[in-house]
Amino acid sequence: MIAISASKIICDFADPASDIVNGTVLVDGDQIISLEGPNWQGETAQSINLPGRTVAPGLMDSHVHLAFDGTADPVGNMHQRDREQTAIQAERAARDLLLGGVTFVRDLGAPDRVALNLRDQIASKAITGPTVFSAGRPLTRPQGHCWFMGSEVHDAASAQSAVNTEVERGADLIKVMVTGGRMTPGTDPLGVELNEIALRFAVKEAHDLGRPVAAHALSAAGVLAAATAGVDTIEHGTLICSDPYAVQHTDADRRLRKRAIAAVIDYGTAISPTFSVPDAGTHPVTPQIRADWISTFHEAGVPVIAGTDSGINGHPHRGAAISGIRGLVAAGMTNSDALAAASGKGMVAAGRSAAGYLRPGFKAELIVLNDDPRRNLETVSAPAGVMVGGVYYQVVRHDNDNHHDQLVRITQ
């Protein structure tokens, strides 16, 4: 058993009353056994004392692409790599995310078995990284968005078959491409490209097999179609209508946007807006407009969860967590709400249970910070330590070259 003691234990970012001053987290294997207050005197196999530090729940990035490298041309670079090189890229991405305090990710699209294999290697401790939920290969219309990764569908039968195939391959969830995407030439980000029947049958089959569904949707029409089909999370969730820059608004645009928002509320769908600060400037809609849309969902009570789309062009894996949390704060969420969206509250909406909080019986996934991020958000940018899979790592940073930052294993 491992005892981790610190000046403050944050059990739930949304509930300061649950904080423990001079507390101890007791961990056995990959689970939290108990939380103790000051002056605890029990015996453990190993003690880690962190005076002056804050221990908090590990963070989530609900939308990553581990096979992408975050450069100007992640797809082109991926196509140039062989299978072994792609696996190395994914391993590097996982390490970069963990260095930033991310202990849980959902990989929402990778070719072949890249993310699935990495997930299994991390679980077996052959590779160091966050806990991974993988969607395997995304479902898309023929030659649709990210068709080069995956699973092209066009009707009910092909959609059901594709879902079954991904689940048999080990997928933790299913990803559907409801609209086109800007990274795939020949697709329409504004149009609903996955037909209604295929979408509904894919969602039903996934749910029947106990898998949640994440839907890529870049337009108000796509958001409306995804929500009414019963998906669990909508990725990006931008409310673009007739104008791809969302500057001009017709009466029809306003009505469509209103219907999309109402559907998300009515169906209890969560939104993963993949909005980061600083924004890399690759999105055609201004950050202010996107922030206003996120604020609209949040104020309406829609679960907004932290995700960054790390790996796509201009969105590196390193530093993704703090960038995504900054984005939610820029959209009007408090520090506490944004941190909760990146931990327990967000994980529940993303389909993961018994994680994201420091509670007995929950996963021992935590980060060590130099301050309380609810009052000093930037402390999240440089965790001093991280625990995942029952292993505690000290983070050794190199100020002049963060590519050589290290995760030093402290526990056995």
Three-state secondary structure of 334-353: CHHHHHHHCCHHHHHHCCCC
> Is residue 401 very low, low, confident or very high in pLDDT (cuts 50, 70, 90)?
low
Separation between Cα atoms, residue 221 and residue 225, nearest integer Å: 6
Provide the mean pLDDT of the chain. 95
Beta pairing, strands 366-369 & 391-396: unpaired
Instruction: Inform me whether the pLDDT recorded for 337 exceeds 70.
Output: yes
Instruction: Inform me whether the pLDDT recorded for 255 exceeds 70.
Output: yes
Burial class (CB in 10 A: 0-12, 13-18, 19+), 381: middle
The whole-number pLDDT of residue 258 equals: 97
Q: How many CA atoms lie within 13 A of 266 on its CB side?
A: 14
On whether the CB atoms of residues 200 and 234 are closer than 8 A, the answer is no
The strand order across the sheet containing 366-369 reads 31-36, 20-28, 2-9, 46-57, 366-369, 385-388, 391-396, 406-409
CATH class label, 2-57+356-409: mainly beta
The whole-number pLDDT of residue 44 equals: 83
On whether the CB atoms of residues 325 and 101 are closer than 8 A, the answer is no
Separation between Cα atoms, residue 168 and residue 371, nearest integer Å: 44
On whether the CB atoms of residues 195 and 177 are closer than 8 A, the answer is no
pLDDT in tens, 157-184: 999 999 999 999 999 999 999 999 999 9
Instruction: Inform me whether the pLDDT recorded for 412 exceeds 90.
Output: no
The whole-number pLDDT of residue 283 equals: 86
Q: Which residue type does 46 have?
A: Q
Provide mean pLDDT across the span 356-371. 98
CATH number of this structure's domain 59-349: 3.20.20.140
The whole-number pLDDT of residue 280 equals: 58
Tokens (6 digits) for 335: 């520090």
Separation between Cα atoms, residue 385 and residue 407, nearest integer Å: 8
For residues 198, 148, 286 and 66, what is the CA-based torsion angle, rounded to 10 degrees? Answer: 110
pLDDT in tens, 26-84: 999 999 999 999 988 888 889 999 999 999 999 999 999 999 999 999 999 999 999 99
Provide mean pLDDT across the span 395-409. 82
Q: What is the DSSP letter of 58?
A: P
The whole-number pLDDT of residue 98 equals: 98
Q: Where are the domains of the chain?
A: 2-57+356-409, 59-349
Provide mean pLDDT across the span 326-345. 98
Q: What is the DSSP letter of 159?
A: H
Instruction: Inform me whether the pLDDT recorded for 11 exceeds 70.
Output: yes
Provide mean pLDDT across the span 337-360. 97
pLDDT in tens, 182-231: 999 999 999 999 999 999 999 999 999 999 999 999 999 999 999 999 99
The whole-number pLDDT of residue 402 equals: 64
